[in-house]
Amino acid sequence: MKEAAAAPPAGEGEALAHVPVLAGFARAFAIFERLLVILCSLALVGASCILSYSVIARHFFQAATYWQDEASVFLIVGATFLSAAHVQARRGHVGIEALAEILPPAANRIRSFLVDLASFAFCAFFAWKSWTLFHEAWVDGQTSSSTWGPPLWVPYSLMALGMTLLSIQILLQLVAALPGGEKR
């Protein structure tokens, strides 16, 4: 496994210097991602507090907490999907690097580009389907079947937004990998 994969990449703006309009967008997008990561971190802390409260309330006070599981799941889903683009920007997702170690640099760039292209296609499709789920849940007023019954547009919107951001990040990396962009 490569040690460099864990290190943050050069700024997307520098990698996209050959496309000036995208360079500014990439820098703004990176700042937005960092802010989202802070919110995602707070969401995970919130989920852990809710679950801890639930355990304490049930054990010591025999109090029913019918809302905590879904609230925690919504927070964790949001944190997971909304932070995916930030993780992708650092190439932090799980990957198998067996070929990367044995391929020559030019072949490895092609392999990496093709993997990013396939990832973009999958993530863009996932984002599109997530937006259709969000739309259906919003229009139909769908709610969870639990006692609490929160609206399902909430997790669907988090999932759709997160996958859209991930698709944008992968697209920026694809453009950066084109001739004149960063060399990986």
Residues 4-18: pLDDT tens digits? 444 445 455 566 666
Q: What is the pLDDT of residues 81-135, one digit of tens each?
A: 999 999 999 887 777 677 778 888 888 889 889 999 999 999 999 999 999 999 9
Instruction: Report the alpha-carbon distance of residue 176 to residue 22 in Å, rounded.
Output: 9
State the average pLDDT for the chain: 86
Per-residue pLDDT at 126: 98
DSSP three-state, residue 170: helix
Q: What is the SS3 assignment for 56-76?
A: HHHHHHCCCCCCHHHHHHHHH
Q: What is the pLDDT of residues 129-164, one digit of tens each?
A: 999 999 999 999 999 988 899 999 999 999 999 999
Instruction: Report the alpha-carbon distance of residue 69 to residue 142 in Å, rounded.
Output: 18
Q: Is residue 37 classed exposed, middle or buried when 0-12, 13-18 and 19+ CB atoms within 10 A define those classes?
A: middle
Asked whether the beta carbons of 174 and 120 are under 8 A apart, the reply is yes
Instruction: Report the alpha-carbon distance of residue 36 to residue 85 in Å, rounded.
Output: 10
Instruction: Report the alpha-carbon distance of residue 122 to residue 166 in Å, rounded.
Output: 11
What pTM does this model have?
0.83
Of 72 and 7, the structure prediction assigns the larger pLDDT to 72
Per-residue pLDDT at 91: 84
